[in-house]
Amino acid sequence: MQLIVLLSILSASHIDMFDGKPIYENPIAWVRSPEIGISIRRSEYRKINLTYFDAAIGRIVPIIRLHQRNVYNNLDFQVALEGGTWVLLGYDNGMFPLITQDFYFSIPLMFKINDLSGVLKWNHISSHRSEGFDILWKKVLTPEERYKIERTERQENISISLPTKNYSRDFVSLDLAYEFYVDGDTIKPYIQGGYIYKIFPRYLKRWFYGGGFEIKSQKGLFSATDIRYNQDTNTTDFAMQIGWELQNHSSKPRFCLNYYNGSDRRGQFLGRYQKEVGIGIYVR
């Protein structure tokens, strides 16, 4: 009986292989959304504001998609591969010292039922160690200024330089989003959550959850907000993007302002408080 039901479903469905766009879109404001883009960022490091480049290279590759249409519902399932890297680079006399780099890989199982969409993922993120922030920090200060800050750090029993870390995690996550329209504008609230089942350093806690919303006007103006609690750092982190998106283009390029306030999610600087602003361009 179950075989008959399965065959009837497949007979009423259409299957695509390596074709089409992802049926679930990662949140725009999420700081670990795999996409392609570059931005100029500014944040404080050891009491000095530093400017640097933040580059993202990421992509979702759909593998197989199952469509089913009937009178009541439009139902889609899609399996894909997703990967990316985030690279922070400074600038020093024509050279670009590496500040930090994180790598990401996931296997998403996406679904869409009418205006409700979501994804269940297996994910891996790991960090690459470097000392680029200290290189920039030393470059912008005179020896006297460096000595004054280092002396203050010693007196306050603070490490002269933040210790570099190896941070990696394997985790499962679930995202749900609902899209609706008001006067022609698109509004998409979403929720996310997950559990890290393998983590280094091992003493860190493992749950995370949050959500946000996106508003896009008919003319392409958009605002996106992401708020999530990360148990590994015991912080509630806030991210926001506002800008303009070319909605009719297949890659949906967008020009935006970025804002982030919370714990640094770059593995090497995990736990460092970060207030960051930037301007950038991204495509999907």
Helices vs. strands in the chain: H and E counts, helices first: 3, 14
Could you tell me the pLDDT band of residue 131, with boundaries at 50, 70 and 90? low
Cβ count within 10 A of residue 111: 17
> Is residue 80 pLDDT above 70, yes or no?
yes
Distance CA 218, CA 245 (A): 10
> Is residue 108 pLDDT above 50, yes or no?
yes
Average pLDDT, the chain: 87
Distance CA 213, CA 215 (A): 7
> Is residue 164 pLDDT above 80, yes or no?
no
Could you tell me the pLDDT band of residue 142, with boundaries at 50, 70 and 90? confident
> Is residue 1 pLDDT above 60, yes or no?
no
> Is residue 50 pLDDT above 80, yes or no?
yes
Could you tell me the pLDDT band of residue 136, with boundaries at 50, 70 and 90? low
Mean pLDDT on 45-67: 90
Distance CA 242, CA 223 (A): 4
